[in-house]
Structure 1
Amino acid sequence: MATSGGPVHPDASAPARDALPTGRPPAPPPLPPRPDSAMEPEPEPEPEQEPEPAYEPDPDPEAALEAVQGLTHDMPDSLRLRHRVVEDVLRVNGIGWRSTGRCSDRTIASCTSFENVRWGTIKGLLGFAESSGCEITVTGGTERGHAGGPYSHWNGYKLDIAPTACVDRAIRRYPPAGVRRDGARLYRSSDGALFAREKDHWDITFR
């Protein structure tokens, strides 16, 4: 028994205060750092695309001739053509084209594009140029901005050409085919092409 007034020593058999259970689960050990190989790389910025040139300033005559020779009248009219192939075909046959925006992107209305045009459409234009003997200038192709429908510009069935005295005479020799709902007078050639006289051009459907 301890004497009165003396120091009181704790019982060595009693658990220390810090060792008493608190009722909380132990904290999980920290995760090891991820190796560099597991880090996801930052995405690289996409390179800017060069705009498509509107026209070839110095066309290669041999390449143009090869493109024309690759197209024959035996091919199906439904064959779809690339813009540059059509450029070469028209150039070799003496047919010009122009656009208000001096471009060939078919998604822009101010451009003149031949992308995805049907071979039957181009063949029909070549036939008209040969039979009429007129100087032909295309002003509209497969670009946006024209009326829709199954036989539309966008679907590759139509081309617009500039009116001239020679072109007007050649088309008006064909039998009249009525008047369109917008008032455009219609003429139909013997091969089935339908010519509509719009305000500043001839709208031609080749089917």
Structure 2
Amino acid sequence: MRTSSIRAAIVAAVITVGSLLGAGSAAAAPEQDPVFTPTSGATTMSVLVTKLTHAQATTRFRNAGITWSSSGNCSNRNNSTCTSFEQINLATVQGAETLKRACGCALNITGGTETGHASGTYSHWNGYKLDFSKYSGIGNYIHNNFTYIGGGKWRAASGNIYYDEGNHWDVTFYSCGC
């Protein structure tokens, strides 16, 4: 499988670079999000990501025609009834923009980086995830273009994971593709 070969090559490269830089101590494994399950023998690595402010993200979403809503009508990152984009990864925003262009469907974000979601490395809080309203357009696009991997999850060619959580789509953006 091509994805496995690419992932193995990346892991090997990270191990090689880590050993060249003298990274020898192993860190405790972080709690994992239920959407992301590392493969056996996976290596934990740190990646530098570009973080955006709430204002920067909302400007980009607005320009892309992506809407957002909040049950609390607020954007406070520390309030679970708000929808915040504070400290969201640039690649996550770009992934949503790519999804919007590719599907041409309505996208409404209902969850961002606010507290109240599952923890873990690839979590909402850490800027990797967005929740989308479950409109038929996005569902049809996911079902027709991505690979079903079981458990209500679909994987895009980009590696991003789309998880049908019943009343919304929970999307983990590992890359800026859709």
TM-score after normalising by structure 2: 0.69
* 1:154 partnered with 2:125: yes
In structure 2, the partner of 1:166 is 137
Distance 1:165 1:202, change over 3 A: same
1:163-207 CA-to-partner distances (Å, cap 9, x unmatched) read 11111100112110121xxxxx00011111100000210000011
- What amino acid does structure 2 have at the position aligned with 1:204? V
Counterpart of 1:191 in structure 2 is 158
Distance between the aligned counterparts of 2:147 and 2:57, measured in 1?
29
1:204 to 163, 171, 177: 171
Once the two structures are overlaid, the 10-residue window that deviates more, 76-85 or 102-111, is: 76-85
Whose radius of gyration is greater, 1 or 2? 1
**Percent of residue pairs identical:** 39
Aligned residues: 127
Report the structure, 1 or 2, having the larger helix content.
Answer: 2
Classify 1:78/1:84 alpha carbon distance in 2 versus 1 (closer, same or farther; 3 Å). Answer: same
Which residue does 1:121 correspond to in 2?
A: 92
CA distance in 2, matches of 1:84, 1:165: 29
Normalised by the length of structure 1, the TM-score is 0.60
State the superposition RMSD in angstroms. 1.2
Question: Equivalent residue of 2:109, what SS?
Answer: strand
Task: Give the one of 95, 105, 108 matched to 1:134.
Answer: 105
**Equivalent position amino acid for 1:148 in 2:** S
2:163 alignment partner, SS class: strand
1:82 aligns with 2:53: yes
Unaligned 5+ segments in structure 1 are 1-75, 180-184
Q: How many Å apart are 1:77 and its aligned residue?
A: 7.8
Does residue 176 (structure 1) correspond to residue 143 (structure 2)? The answer is no
**Which fold has the larger relative contact order, with Cα–Cα distance below 8 Å and residues 6 or more apart in sequence?**
2
Equivalence for 1:105: 76
> 1:14-71, CA deviations, whole angstroms, 9 ceiling, x for partnerless residues?
xxxxxxxxxxxxxxxxxxxxxxxxxxxxxxxxxxxxxxxxxxxxxxxxxxxxxxxxxx
* SS of equivalent residue, structure 1 residue 139: strand
- Distance (whole Å) between structure 2 residues aligned to residue 126 and residue 192 of structure 1: 16
Q: Distance in 1 between matches of 2:48 and 2:90?
A: 5
Q: Is the 8 A contact 1:77 1:121 kept in 2?
A: no
For 2:86, give the aligned amino acid: E
User: Unaligned stretches of 5+ in structure 2?
Assistant: 1-46
3-state SS in 2 of match to 1:147: coil
